[in-house]
Amino acid sequence: MKNKRLLASVFSLMAVVSLSACSVKPTPRPVQKTATGQVIAKKTDGKQCVDNFELLKKLNYDSFLKFRNEFDVVNHSYDYYKSNEVLMENDPREQMTLTLNDKLNMICDRVKSETFNEIRKKMKTVSTI
């Protein structure tokens, strides 16, 4: 129950922070096609981060706990930001938004890397056969 709530808060934090960032015209993502020309649907970055986080929980629970604590720190900062957003001037608001977004992306990249390393460890056993 707590993990579902954590994942929901991480996903909602990612969505809100990325939506509240500076409004810059996004560059379109390249569309990936198969040999037959079918378009492959890509996951959003936020969804992929949550999926990697769930996979890491199954692969290495200690690493999962470490990253969950990092997400908790970002979530607490985000709660502070949301409760004081109306009191802030534009520059501090923008600074906090950018910082939270950067930290969230950094944690997601670390989770992705750790997940890859854990999968590689598991596949090393298979490759020795």
| Whether pLDDT at 100 is above 50 | yes
| Whether pLDDT at 120 is above 80 | yes
Six token digits for residue 96: 């906090």
Amino acid letter at 44? T
DSSP annotation of 22: -
DSSP annotation of 37: -
| Whether pLDDT at 108 is above 80 | yes
56-85 confidence digits (pLDDT tens): 999 999 999 999 999 999 999 999 999 999
Looking at residue 99, its pLDDT comes to 95
Assign 44 a pLDDT band (cuts: 50, 70, 90). confident
Say which residue the tokens 């890491």 belong to.
Answer: 56
Say which residue the tokens 């298979």 belong to.
Answer: 126
Looking at residue 115, its pLDDT comes to 97
Looking at residue 9, its pLDDT comes to 56
15-31 confidence digits (pLDDT tens): 444 444 443 444 444 44
All residues at 6 or more sequence positions from 21 whose CB lies less than 8 Å from its CB, including other chains: 97, 98, 101
Looking at residue 80, its pLDDT comes to 93
